[in-house]
Structure 1
Amino acid sequence: MNFEYFISKRLVTKTDHKSNISAPIIKIAVSAIAIGIIMMFVAISTGFGLQDKIREKIAAFNGHMVINNFSNNQSNVTQNPISTRQDFYPEFTAVPEIEHIQKVATKYGIIRTETDFEGIVVKGVGENYRWKYLEEYLVKGQLPVFDDKISKEVLISDYLASRLGFQVGDKLVVYFVRENQDRLPRSLGLTISGIFDSGFKEFDETYVIADLRQIQRLNNWEDHQIGQFELFVEDFSEIQEVGYKVYQEVDSFLNASTIIELYPSIFEWLKMFDFNIILIIGIMILVAGINMITALLVLILERTQMIGILKALGSSDWSIRKIFLYNAGFLIFKGLFWGNLIGISLLLIQKYLKVIPLNPETYYVSQAPIYLSLDYILVINLGTLLLCVLMLLIPSVIITKISPVKAMKFE
C-alpha cells in the first residue's frame, strides 16, 4: 500500500508539470468536476428553495389543508357556515400529524375610493390565526391587533395599496352586497394597520385580512359559526396521506382538501423542478466521469513504460491499477474541493445578499430562494466521488493488456 501510494504521489507531481502532455487534460477534468458540483448545488438549492417558498406562500393564505362545506368547494368565499363545535377543534387529536388548526371566513367585497374601485376577498381570521407567514411578508406598519372587541384594523397588500393610493393608517370603506339584491350594499369602515407583499400576485391582488368577527357580524352568524378550518401538517411531504386521514375523520357533510388539490396546476409545475434537478445531476456526473476517463487513459498511455517496468519487477495488474486510481481519486478530490468552495460561496451570497432577481409574475418570488442543507451537500459529494471512481475502473482494465516487453520498448 505504501509503495502504491508513493508511486501515485509521484505520478500526480509529474502530471502537474506544465510541460507534461496530460497537464491540460488533467486541468479540464478537474474543472469539469468543480463546475459539475457548482451546477448541482445551484440546481438543488434553487429548485428546493423555490418549491419551499411557493408552498409557504400558498399555506400563508390557505393553510396546508382546508375543511369546509361541500357547497363551498367551487368558491373563494364562504357560502354556508360550519360550526366550531367539532370533535377535531381546537385540537385534531385523531390525526397527530396535524400541528395546528385555525378558524377563518371569507366574503366578497369592493373597495371604493373617489377615483377607483377594486374587487377583493375579505378574509376574517380568529385569535388563533398563525401570523408567522404574513409577518415575514410585512413591509410597512404592523399586524392587526384583535382583542376582546371587534377590531376595525386590516392588513392589505402592497399591490392594492399602490393601486388605490393607500398608506398605513388610512381609512378605507368596503362595500358588501346583501343577500337580498333589492337592498343597498352594506358598507364597512376599516383602518389599515399594515401592508404586506408576498410576491404571489394571485393572492396579493385579492385578499384583505380582517377580524373574523366582522365577517360573522356581516353574515348575521353566531359566534360558533365560521367559514372553514385551515390545518397545518408537521411534514409537508406526507400531506397526501395526512389529507386522507383527515377526510376519514371529519363528518360526512364536511369536505377536506389539501392545497395540492386546490392548486393542482401550481404543484404540477413544481414537480417539473424535480425532473430538472435529476436531469442536471445526471448530465453533470456523466460529463465529469467522461473527462476523468479521458484523463486516466492519457495518464496510462503516457506511463506505459512505467507500467512495463513495474510489471517486470513483479507488480500485479491490480496493484498497478490502484496506483492510477489513487491518482485519479486525488484529482477528483481536488475538483470537489474547488466545486464546494465556489458553489457554497455563491449560494451564501445569493441567500444573504439576494443579487439574482426573478420575475414574480412567472416564479411567484422576487429573488431566487436558496435552500441549504448539509444532507444534500454530503450526498452530492459522496455520490460524485463513488460514481466517478466506479466509471474509472473500466478504462483501468487497459493496464492488464499491456505487455512488459513491448511497454519497455514503447516511446
Structure 2
Amino acid sequence: MNTEYFIAGRIAIKSERTFSKLIVRIAIAGVMLSLAVMILSVAIINGFKTEIQEKVRGYIGDVRIFKFDLNNSFELTPFVPGAETINNLKKNKDVVYFQPYATKPAIISVNDEVEGINFKGIDKSFNWKYISEHLVSGRVISFADSAAAMKEIMISQFTANRLKLKAGDSFIMNFVQNPPRSRKFKIVGVYSVGVEEIDKGFVLGDLNVIRRLNNWGPNEIGGIEVRIKDFSKLKPVSLDIYENLEVNLKSESVSEFFPAIFTWLSLLDVNTRVLLILMMIVGVINMITALLIMILERTNMIGMLKAFGMTDFSVMKIFLYNAIYLVGLGLLLGNILGLGLGFLQQYTHLFKLDQGSYYLSYVPIEIHFSEVLILNVCTVVICFMVLILPSMLVSKISPLKAIRFK
C-alpha cells in the first residue's frame, strides 16, 4: 500500500479540525465556482460568435463577388459572370452554394413615415433556408409567376414596426435615380434577423425589378453571394475564390463588409482570456491558502512522521495528494454546476438579453466538450505546479520542535 496516499486519504476524509474543515470547504467552493465560470464563459462566447456569425452570413453570404471598380455605393456596377467564374465556384469543394443579387437604394413613404432602405434583388436560385427560419409572418417570395414576383417584397420586423406595416399590405417605393422612379409592392412576408444593420438596412425583392429600373440586360447582376462550408476557413477560402476570379472582378468577405460586428466578436475573445486567467488565479489562491493552513495545523503530525523516519519528500507528497484530491472534488462539482447551468440555458433560454444591444434575445450557449476537458486538465496541472512550492514548507519543520508545537 502507498503510505503517503493512505495518510492523505485519512486526512481528507476523517479530519475533525473545525477550522481547517471550513477553509477546505471554501477552497473546494473556490475551485468549483472558478471552473464553472470558466466553462460558462467559454460556452457563452462560443454561442455569441456562432449565433451572430450565422445571422450575418445567413443574410449576405460569406463572400461577395462584384465588379472591380471605384464604386463604393450600395448600387453595384452590373456585370455578366463569365463561364470561368461560374465553373470555378462549382468546382470549389469549400463552396456550398452561390447566388446572384443586386442592390438599389430607395425610399419608402407610408403612413406618415419615411424610411431610407436598400432594395436587395434576388432570383429563383436564392436559398430560402435562413429567411424561412426567421420568418415572423407571411411567406417567402414565389418566383413561379415572374410577373407576380416583381410585385412582391419581404421586409424586416424592424421596418414593419417603424412604418406600421404588416404582411398583406401594399406601399409605394421610390427608387433613387435620375429621374426618380416608383414601384408598388405587396408585402408577402415579414422576417426578423435580429441584427440592426441588416433589419434596418434591407428589404428583399425580385432582381428583375432592378434590371428593369436600370435598363440592365437579362443576365446582368450586381454581385454573387457565396456560402462556404467551414466559416473558420473564411480567410483562405475567400483568398482562393479571389485568385480564381476573372480580372474584372473582386471579392469581399463578410468580415470586411461588417467590420464593426466582427471586431466586436474578436474583442470578446480578449475578455474571455482575461476572465479565465482571473478565475484560475482565484482557484489557485484558495488552494494555496487551504494547503498552508493544513500544514500548519498538522505540524505535530509532520514532526512525528519525520521522527519515525519518513523523508521530507514523502511528507510533502502526503499534502500534495491531499490538495489534488480537493482540487479533483472541486473540479467534479464545478463541471456539474457549469455544464448543468449551460445545458439549462441552452434548452430553456432562461436568461434573456436586450436584442437591440446584443443582437440576440437570450444568452447563447455552445458547449464544446474538448474545451471543457482542456479547462479541467489545465486547472489540475497549474494547481499541482503551484502547490509544490508551499508544500515544500514541510522540509523546514524540525521534528523536535514540531512534536512540542501546540
**TM bracket, shorter-chain basis:** over 0.9
Distance 1:86 1:363 in 2: 42
Q: Report the 3-state secondary structure (helix = DSSP H, G, I; strand = E; otherwise coil) of the residue aligned with 1:225.
A: coil
Distance 1:384 1:292 in 2: 11
Cα deviations across residues 197-249 of structure 1 (Å, max 9, x unaligned)?
Answer: 12211211121111223322332322321110111222222222222222221
**CA shift in 2, pair 1:264/1:73, >3 Å:** farther
Equivalent pairs counted in the alignment come to 404
Residue from 256, 263, 272 that aligns with 1:268: 263
Q: Which residue of 1 aligns with 2:3?
A: 3
**TM-score normalised by structure 2 residue count:** 0.93
Cα deviations across residues 22-54 of structure 1 (Å, max 9, x unaligned)?
Answer: 112111111111111122122212222212222
Q: Which residue of 1 aligns with 2:24?
A: 26
Q: Is the 8 A contact 1:14 1:20 kept in 2?
A: no
Residue from 104, 112, 115 that aligns with 2:112: 115
Residue from 33, 38, 49 that aligns with 1:40: 38
- Pair 1:403-2:365 in alignment: no
- Pair 1:146-2:143 in alignment: yes
**CA shift in 2, pair 1:170/1:296, >3 Å:** same
Which moved further from structure 2: 247-256 or 349-358?
Answer: 349-358
Q: Which residue of 2 aligns with 1:299?
A: 294
The unaligned stretches of length 5 or more in structure 2 are: none
Q: Is the 8 A contact 2:138 2:189 kept in 1?
A: yes
Shift of 1:292: 0.3
Query: Hey, which bits of structure 1, 4+ residues long, moved more than 6 A?
Result: none
Q: How does 1:262-341 map to 2 (within 5 A)?
A: 262-341=257-336
Q: Report the 3-state secondary structure (helix = DSSP H, G, I; strand = E; otherwise coil) of the residue aligned with 2:143.
A: coil
Distance 2:337 2:277 in 1: 20
Which moved further from structure 2: 261-270 or 382-391?
Answer: 261-270
**CA shift in 2, pair 1:126/1:318, >3 Å:** farther
Q: Report the 3-state secondary structure (helix = DSSP H, G, I; strand = E; otherwise coil) of the residue aligned with 2:184.
A: strand
Distance 2:250 2:90 in 1: 18
Distance 1:385 1:409 in 2: 35
Q: Is the 8 A contact 1:104 1:212 kept in 2?
A: yes
Q: Which residue of 2 aligns with 1:252?
A: 247
Shift of 1:91: 5.5
Q: How does 1:4-403 map to 2 (within 5 A)?
A: 4-15=4-15, 17=16, 19-71=17-69, 73-78=71-76, 80-89=77-86, 92-93=89-90, 95-147=92-144, 149-150=146-147, 151=149, 152-178=151-177, 180-181=178-179, 185-403=180-398
**TM-score normalised by structure 1 residue count:** 0.91
Distance 1:270 1:355 in 2: 23
Q: Is the 8 A contact 2:84 2:246 kept in 1?
A: no
Query: What RMSD, in angstroms, separates the aligned Cα atoms of the two structures?
Result: 2.1
Distance 2:105 2:364 in 1: 33
Shift of 1:99: 2.7
> Aligned letter for 1:84?
P
> Aligned letter for 1:74?
N
Which moved further from structure 2: 129-138 or 250-259?
Answer: 129-138
> Aligned letter for 1:57?
K
> Aligned letter for 1:49?
G
> Aligned letter for 1:58?
V
> Aligned letter for 1:109?
A
Distance 2:361 2:294 in 1: 48
Which moved further from structure 2: 117-126 or 210-219?
Answer: 210-219
Shift of 1:107: 1.3
Shift of 1:283: 0.8
Q: State percent identity of aligned pairs.
A: 37
Distance 1:410 1:98 in 2: 74
Q: Is the 8 A contact 1:89 1:101 kept in 2?
A: no
> Aligned letter for 1:66?
R
Shift of 1:116: 2.6
Shift of 1:176: 2.1
